[in-house]
Amino acid sequence: MGSIYDKLNFSMHNPPQFLYIEITPECNLRCKQCHHWMLKESDNSLKTEDKLNLIRQFHKMNKNGEVVLTGGETMSKIDEFFALTSLCRSLNLKSAANTNATYISEEIVEKTLVQGPGAFVISLDSHLEHIHDYIRGVITHPINGWLDGCEPSQRRPISFS
């Protein structure tokens, strides 16, 4: 049986540049503009091992490609999250992940530096905490909460665009 990429008719001469993997459709926030938090993951969803195999197949096609982890909230399945990013690192594949940053703690920051993705895309709805939380539907303490997860010596600059 061929790989999913054979079925999609990609070839070694025309490989996909990105592989997007949804870790879970579920999310712990309640954003007003989003429906993800109403979703439940299906029993038929790909399992961690299936996703690891997809990454291995993707790597065979394009060693310069990039794996993007999406959700829902990617870090709500933290074991799967780090299993996938660790594999990307071991294969020397670029990786990035979307997150609402609510699971970030000192322990997660330390693990991320060693096993995590090369880049995070963190969503922030306002520089004013109460507006961000109003849109998110949950009190999240953005920015200060993210920084509270890090000792001052471990903090890295965060740039927003």
For ligand SF4, the binding residues (CB under 6 A) are: 27, 29, 31, 34, 36-37, 71-73, 100, 123
Shortest Å, Cβ 34 to ligand SF4 = 3
Closest CA to 84 of 104, 122, 58: 58
User: 95: part of which helix (H) or strand (E)?
Assistant: strand 94-99
CB 120 within 8 A of CB 149: no
Shortest Å, Cβ 9 to ligand SF4 = 31
- In whole angstroms, give the CA distance from residue 24 to residue 34: 15
CB 96 within 8 A of CB 121: yes
Question: One-letter amino acid identity for 59?
Answer: H
Shortest Å, Cβ 160 to ligand SF4 = 16
- In whole angstroms, give the CA distance from residue 27 to residue 33: 13
Shortest Å, Cβ 73 to ligand SF4 = 6
Shortest Å, Cβ 38 to ligand SF4 = 9
CB nearer to ligand SF4: give 115 or 123. 123
CB nearer to ligand SF4: give 5 or 72. 72
CB nearer to ligand SF4: give 5 or 80. 80
CB nearer to ligand SF4: give 71 or 116. 71
CB nearer to ligand SF4: give 45 or 64. 45
Sign of CA dihedral 43, 47, 53, 57: positive
